[in-house]
Structure formats: structure tokens, C-alpha cells
Amino acid sequence: MEYPSKVLGKAVEEISGLPGIGRKSALRLALHLLKQPESQGIALADALHQLVTKIKYCIECHNFSDVEVCEICSSHRRDSALLCIVEDVRDVMAIENTGKFIGKYLVLGGKISPMEGVGPAHLNIASIEKKLQSGTVKELIFALSATMEGDTTAYYIYKKFKGFNVNFSSIARGIAIGDELEYADEISLGRSIMHRTPYSEG
Amino acid sequence: MEYPSKVLGKAVEEISGLPGIGRKSALRLALHLLKQPESQGIALADALHQLVTKIKYCIECHNFSDVEVCEICSSHRRDSALLCIVEDVRDVMAIENTGKFIGKYLVLGGKISPMEGVGPAHLNIASIEKKLQSGTVKELIFALSATMEGDTTAYYIYKKFKGFNVNFSSIARGIAIGDELEYADEISLGRSIMHRTPYSEG
């Protein structure tokens, strides 16, 4: 498509480089910005510039952070004995949103996936070792995807660190709240009946 | 949702201000940018900044342009006797993409819509008058949406300028009533501009 203006064409090209946004959507977004007060577009541009140039990672857990050690890692209210291993920053946010976890996190930065060329060396596994060596961690909780790669990653970490005096656990797998049994896949249903929990009234 | 970093939170907030992008999609886009080389995010931010601060409008047709008079208006290959009235910049791009029109354009900047508080005074109707007074225009072609507002706008312009020695035509209604021009396929749109019909009050 020919654009009547080079700055418009360039903007459409850059916006359509984002995942899930084609050229028509990109053009729609660009024209939307042009209809708003100039300050809104500038604020968006500045926020994106800040995002990619200013963001830092917590040196302890590898979550995003504006400071060297993130709020969760530096908090005295969080229980250092519980270390929750997640793949991604979004998983930290998802678990934090539940408000049910008081421990700390370690963001692996992915999962072992030979198909995609991701091996243990690409993940923040050395940071787990450092945490375990400090001796404060009593339980290491896997909160990884219920996929082959997630299971492989958990198994690798378990094998590597089972010599440490620490308990390993994994978030419960089963039927999601609100799911109908007949639509659950066989593997989930099978696992959930094997790993059944004592019934409680709560 | 709580974000682990203020720059991330700010970026998500600004991205989710765009139409059709919720906070989850905005977060996904922000995290995507953080996985790419920093230069890609900077290029996007710069392109958006340039877009909102540098874009200009052609003083003749009100299309976007990097120069005072746009390429189409200043081209000697385009027929100044044909003036195509469109609502929006996207409509110019859509018609240009068909490659079927050799005349010039005038971008109204909207359509008359009492419901949305848009009256003739908000549109570039004075520019049509200036074009007609110059005496070069022989045919005025309405390429407006096939909606009540589009029809009202065409009728208003027809009534206002029917005293000029100019033929009025309208793109053929090969497009279903209620459709917006920008979503029409190129073939239908190309045919509808080739088979334009004399404008009549009915």
C-alpha cells in the first residue's frame, strides 16, 4: 500500500511489526492517534521508549524491576523459605493477582525445549542454585506450564538440586473451577483422580 | 493489576489506551517488545513520535502529506477536471490502491452527522468551493459511505454547489448499503468508481 506521507508509512510499518497487528489495524491505530491530542501520542511514544531503554531486571529473581532488587525480593513480609519457580514475568503477575502466595519467586526466563533450541544454559538455573546455597529456602515450588516442556524443566531442576535439603512441590493440576468433567481432557482428568485430595467442607 | 515495574505499568497503560487493545494484550505487546532488540522498540517509539508531531495536511485536498501540497495535488498526470470527494484519508488510500482513478481528491474530514454533532462547518466544504471557483473542475464525484450520513453529506454538497457548471456523480452502489468504504474489496471499489452514475436527488 502507498501511504500519502512517509511518517505515516513508517509508523504503520513499525506498528505492524507487533504480533497480531496487521497493516490495516496498524493504519487504524495510527489514524486514531492522529485524531487524539498530540500529547497522547507523545505519551505513548515516551512510555515505549522508557520501557525498552529503562527497564531493569531484579538481580535476585529476574523479574522486571525499577530497582536492583525488586519489591518482592526485598520485602521482609515475604517468606524466603518458599521459592516459586515460574517461566515468565506474566506468571509472577498472575500468581500475585491471586493474593494466595506469600513466598518469593524465581523467573526462569523460559522452559527447556529442545524443539526451540532452549536448553538449561539459557535459563536462570544458576540463580536457583545460589538461592539454595544460601540455606533459607525450605520448599521449592514448581509453577510451570502443564506441558511436556514444563514437566521436562521441573524434572531437570529436581534432578539437579535433589541433593539439597529442600522439599519439592508442584502447583496442583486438575480440573479448573467451573469446568465440566465431560469436557476435560483425559490426561488432566486422569491426573486429577490420581492426585485426589481429602474432601473438606471449605 | 500490579506491575513489577513502573515503566512497564506506564507502557501498558498507554498501549491499552489504543482502541481494541485491552490491558492483557497491552502487556503481551510490551513483553514482546522487551524480548526484541532494544532498537526495535526505539524505532517504534520514534515513529510514533514523528507521526504525531511531524505529520502535515495538504493545503489543497486535506490529505496527509509531508509537504505543503501533496503528490497527487501537485501531479500534472492527474486530471484536475475530476474531483473525488471522500470522507477520510483511508478512503483516498483505498481508491488509490484500485489504480482506477486519475483525478484528484478532496478529503472532507468526516460526514454530516447530527447524532455525533458533526455539521457542515466541521468539514472541508469551503475547499470544495475554492476548487469549483477555480473553474478547472468539470465533474464532482461523491465517494462517500453508503450510509444515511454519507447520503446526507452528498445531498448537502449537491444542493450547495449545483449552481456551478459542473456534473455531479456518485460511485456506483456496487457496495452493499451500510458498508464502510475502507473495508470494501479492491475490485468492487474499482468498478464502483469506474461505473459512477450521475448524481440525482432521489
Q: pLDDT in tens for each of the 202 residues of chain A?
A: 678 888 999 999 999 999 999 998 999 999 999 988 999 999 999 999 999 999 889 999 999 988 889 999 999 999 999 999 999 888 898 888 888 889 999 999 999 998 889 999 999 999 999 999 999 999 999 998 888 899 999 999 999 999 999 999 988 877 777 777 777 787 877 777 777 777 766 5
Please give the pLDDT value at position B175: 62
Q: CA angle A106-A108-A110, nearest 5°?
A: 150
Residues of B in contact with A65 (CB under 8 A): 4-5
Q: Is B22 exposed, middle or buried (0-12, 13-18, 19+ CB in 10 A)?
A: exposed
Selected residues 70-89 of chain A with any CB under 8 Å from a CB in chain B: 70-72, 88-89
Parts of chain A belonging to CATH 1.10.8.420: 6-54
B176: cell is 452493499
pLDDT digits (tens, 9 = 90+) for B3-24: 888 899 999 999 999 999 999 8
> Residues B89, A33: contact at Cβ < 8 Å?
no
In the numeric block, the cell 521482609 is attached to A76
pLDDT > 70 in chain B, percent: 96
Determine contact: B6 vs chain A, CB below 8 A: yes
Cα separations in angstroms, B104 against A85, B82, B87, B138, B194: 62, 6, 14, 12, 14
Parts of chain A belonging to CATH 3.40.1360.10: 64-171
Among partner residues B49, B51, B63, which is closest to A4 by beta-carbon distance?
B63
Determine contact: A15 vs chain B, CB below 8 A: yes
Residues of B in contact with A75 (CB under 8 A): none
ipTM of the complex: 0.75
B173 φ/ψ angles, rounded to the nearest 5 degrees: -85, 60
Determine contact: B50 vs chain A, CB below 8 A: yes
In the numeric block, the cell 540463580 is attached to A127
pLDDT digits (tens, 9 = 90+) for B155-193: 999 999 999 999 999 887 666 667 777 777 777 778 777
Please give the pLDDT value at position A185: 80
Determine contact: B35 vs chain A, CB below 8 A: no
Name, in order, each residue with C-beta under 8 angstroms of A47's C-beta and a sequence gap of 6 or more.
Answer: B7, B10, B11, B13, B14, B15
Q: How many CB atoms lie within 10 A of CB B201?
A: 7
Contacts made by residues B181-187, CB under 8 angstroms, sequence distance 24+:
B181/B86, B181/B87, B181/B88, B181/B90, B181/B91, B181/B94, B181/B143, B181/B144, B181/B145, B182/B88, B182/B90, B182/B91, B182/B94, B184/B94, B186/B94, B186/B97, B186/B98, B187/B98
Cross-chain Cβ contact B42/A52 below 8 Å:
yes
Alpha helices in A56-185 (DSSP H): 71-74, 89-98, 125-134, 148-161
B50 φ/ψ angles, rounded to the nearest 5 degrees: -60, -45
Calpha distance B168→B152 (Å, rounded): 15
Cross-chain Cβ contact A1/B70 below 8 Å:
no
Determine contact: B37 vs chain A, CB below 8 A: no
In the numeric block, the cell 526484541 is attached to B36
Mutation target for B interface from A55, A70, A78, A116: give the one with most B CBs within 10 A: A55
Parts of chain B belonging to CATH 3.40.1360.10: 64-198
Cross-chain Cβ contact B38/A44 below 8 Å:
no
Please give the pLDDT value at position B142: 93
Domain B64-198 classification at class level = alpha beta
- Domain A6-54 is of which CATH architecture? Orthogonal Bundle (1.10)
Please give the pLDDT value at position B198: 77
Among partner residues A11, A17, A53, which is closest to B40 by beta-carbon distance?
A17
Residues of B in contact with A45 (CB under 8 A): 45-46, 48-49, 52
Among partner residues B18, B89, B97, which is closest to A1 by beta-carbon distance?
B97
CATH number of A64-171: 3.40.1360.10
CA distance A69 to chain B (A): 11
Cross-chain Cβ contact B93/A25 below 8 Å:
no
Please give the pLDDT value at position A176: 77
Q: Is B58 exposed, middle or buried (0-12, 13-18, 19+ CB in 10 A)?
A: buried
SS3 assignment, position A181: helix
Residues of A in contact with B29 (CB under 8 A): 18-19
pLDDT digits (tens, 9 = 90+) for B30-67: 999 998 999 999 999 999 999 999 988 999 999 998 88
